[in-house]
Structure 1
């Protein structure tokens, strides 16, 4: 008997005395909680995202769409990066202003090979303002999960305001639960029992988020 069979057997035994007409799970728990906290205009929501990202020690940059290649090139130069990992679907124009060696996201790449890459540049699936969280879903412009967990420096581009939502419930509506979702709130960090903070233990030590204007008006509602 496999571990899976044992676990499912325990679940079945635990549910054996549940009446057939018991209230369905979907109805048993009230779902009348707030979907977002307060009404905000788009610009205010984006400002809240930037504030909460910074509170989690991410480095936040804001620019217009035409400035993005220059901004990314500058961030790589400041990092003294000599190599950058590139997901297969990343917009080539984003790296047009830099001559840093590009490393392809290959399934056969080992963790050791990824660890030798200086930086990785990705897009994101959605960003949550109230929690300062960016979410990756493994799309072509984001790459596989480990390419954003092994390199020490991650540059993540968020299209503003198209990819910004106020709350987690709003983000979940945009995400496919069958995909491998990575929720990131700041650089990787952990603390021991004495609350000594250590960064870079199970992810990038430095997270830089670029909020790039995508053209929607600043006062459009989220």
Structure 2
């Protein structure tokens, strides 16, 4: 007996007492389960952003916090500290974000090859939503984020998250904001993998360094 036969057999036994005439919508399913699993007090205001920052750091992302006026100087410092001579920008990135930065802007083009993207020093994007409970940022290919590949090939990604507007507590709350038809990329820290001996290697299928800037409005 195959694994498939075992699974289907269990399903048939579980459905044995269900009338064949019953449709999926005939029996209401309770949806009163917990939508978030947060520590006491973590769901309010700045505490939610603090939880997001803590969980991002646990995944080895580098977290920065600033106000709107400090965003441009901070991005300039981060790119300078990285020694970035070129920075990839999505078409809808707010121009004032990089007004203080010196690197050459490389614009997201459909014709750009993987080799060309790999030669870029850094990429700066926004995000669709950030999840405090899991320390995850989600990209959906919007104008301020660009195509998925521009955040997977360059070695250094700076992602800007607006607080509290783009921060939610849990995955269910994030899903309510996302369009499943869009190309969703879920990021929890820099790209990493481990071999059979559990040696961690970063930068295998995404950026080796992820910096997240929380802009508190």
TM-score range, shorter chain: 0.7 to 0.9
Query: 1:147 maps to what in 2?
Result: 150
Whole-Å Cα distance in 2 between the matches of residues 27 and 81 of structure 1? 58
Of 101, 104, 123, the residue aligned with 1:101 is 104
Distance 1:179 1:157 in 2: 20
Which residue does the alignment assign to 1:198? 201
Question: What CA RMSD, in Å, does the superposition of the two structures yield over aligned residues?
Answer: 2.1
**2:34 pairs with 1:34:** yes
- C-alpha displacement at 1:27, in angstroms? 6.1
1:24 Cα shift? 1.6
Q: In 2, Cα distance between the equivalents of 1:146 and 1:155? A: 14
Deviations 1:82-136 (A, max 9, x none): 0000000000000000110000000000000000000000000000000000000
Aligned length: 200
TM-aligned CA distance change 1:25 to 1:182, over 3 Å: farther
Q: What is the CA distance between 1:30 and its match in structure 2?
A: 5.4
The Cα of 1:33 is off from its aligned counterpart by 2.5
Is 2:168 the counterpart of 1:162? no
- The equivalent position to 1:50 in structure 2, one of 33, 41, 53, is 53
Question: How far apart are the structure 1 equivalents of 2:122 and 2:44?
Answer: 34
Q: SS of the counterpart of 2:134? A: coil
Gaps of 5+ in 1: 1-14, 215-222
Judged with a 3 Å threshold, the aligned counterparts in structure 2 of structure 1 residues 23 and 156 are, in CA distance, closer, same or farther, namely same
CA separation of 1:180 and 1:25: change in aligned 2, threshold 3 A: farther
Residue 147 of structure 1 aligns to a residue whose secondary structure is helix
Q: Deviations over 1:158-193 (max 9, x none)?
A: 000100000000000000010000000000000111
Q: Distance in 1 between matches of 2:108 and 2:198?
A: 36
Distance apart, 1:138 and its partner CA: 0.1
Which digits, 9 at most, give the CA deviation of each residue in 1:61-95, with x for residues without a partner? 00010000000000000100000000000000000
1:213 positional shift: 1.1
TM-score under structure 2 length normalisation: 0.87
Distance in 1 separating the partners of 2:21 and 2:172: 29
